[in-house]
Amino acid sequence: MPVFPAAGRVGLAAGLLLVLTGCQAGYYWHLARGHTALMRERVPVETVLADPATPAALRERLAAAGQMLTFADTALALPVDDAYRTFVALERGFVVWNLFAAPAFSLTPETWCFPVAGCSSYRGYFDLERAERDAARLRDEGLDVYGGGAVAYSTLGWFSDPLTTPMLHGTQADVAELLFHELAHRRFYLPGDTRFNESLATSVGREGARRWLAAHGDPALMGGLQDSDRARATVMALVQSAREDLATLYASPASESAQRAGKATIQARLREDYRAALALDPSLAPYQRWFDGPLNNAQLNTLSDYNQWVPAFDALLLHCGGQWACFWQAVEQLADLPPPARTAQLNQWMTP
């Protein structure tokens, strides 16, 4: 995921403060400070590997990440350059905290616009207390709000992004998917279309992880990746059904109290549907914490932002015979279309 406005250099962000005022200027200063502090903590991976005090487990994961970066460059046509060649040890389990918001009776997300990167349906924070204050303010305005930690972010090639402790958690497949996802943002980013960008990066990350495991990774992890794909598809189907029911409810002439009651019923049914699906398929267990959340409009949007167009991009790569040059050329042509035409094309690729 990109973080904003870190897609521009700190000097650019500082210059923009001359024309920004109030809490917006404070937000930009907080981003500049947080990003700069993270950059100052970077240590070359080679230095960490050469340090005899480095734990063996960390040494192994950093070495594997280096191999994945080489693979991304040579086999996935992703622009690695000097990204992820440094490491920052973090005690917390996330790098930035993201806030998502939406009206109480609409699935249209709130958006925030940033220099260089355009508009986005989420806002990133290095300071958790600031995020919590802004979340409370948004709730006071009557919005549905959802927050979550992100273990990585991309500066879209403007900076040499570091590896961090949270990025190296999980299986080899998890680390590969995350690295390839973030590198996809460096390869292509369409300002103002979060769902396009995140679905694209999810598709590339997943396919990249599959190819990595097939070529260099532990073949035993391939089954886990297949289980994860199946679980993701099941959860997306459940959420999409709930979203369709909510969209129908919100478009109805029902009173606000009736819509509120109907919304609660749909949310409760979604939780019940997940529990029933989990009983049949234990691979859905990693989503338990997500379904324990509020399941409000903002939260439902997050899953759609990162996954809705994944089958379309998967189909595009298949149409290209698995060739990345063809795929990226088609992505660029798709991005040049007006939004309605772009959505129509994505929907067409979604059809089996």
Residue 345 and residue 337 in contact, taking contact as beta carbons nearer than 8 Å: yes
* Residue 256: Cβ-neighbour burial (10 angstroms; 0-12, 13-18, 19+): exposed
DSSP strand pairing (43-44 vs 86-88) = antiparallel
This prediction's pTM: 0.88
Which has the closest alpha carbon to 202: 285, 288, 303?
A: 303
Token output for 316 = 């595009």
Over residues 281-305, the pLDDT tens digits come to 999 999 999 999 999 999 999 999 8
Structure confidence at residue 154 (pLDDT): 80
Lowest mean pLDDT among 9-18, 186-195, 242-251: 9-18
Over residues 117-163, the pLDDT tens digits come to 678 888 989 999 999 999 999 999 999 999 999 888 788 878 889 99
Over residues 21-78, the pLDDT tens digits come to 444 678 888 888 888 888 899 999 999 999 999 999 999 999 999 999 999 999 999 9
CA distance 18 to 49: 43
Over residues 315-332, the pLDDT tens digits come to 999 999 999 999 999 999
Question: How many C-alpha atoms does 114 have within 13 Å on its Cβ side?
Answer: 26
Given a cut of 80, whether residue 217 has pLDDT beyond it is no
Helices (H), 17-108: 22-40, 45-50, 56-75
Mean pLDDT, rounded, for 91-108: 93
Torsion sign (Cα): 283, 56, 45, 11: positive
Residue 216 and residue 272 in contact, taking contact as beta carbons nearer than 8 Å: no
DSSP strand pairing (86-88 vs 123-125) = unpaired
Residue 154 and residue 2 in contact, taking contact as beta carbons nearer than 8 Å: yes
Quickly tell me which residue has 């260099």 as its tokens.
216
Given a cut of 80, whether residue 339 has pLDDT beyond it is yes
CA distance 137 to 167: 30
Given a cut of 70, whether residue 7 has pLDDT beyond it is no
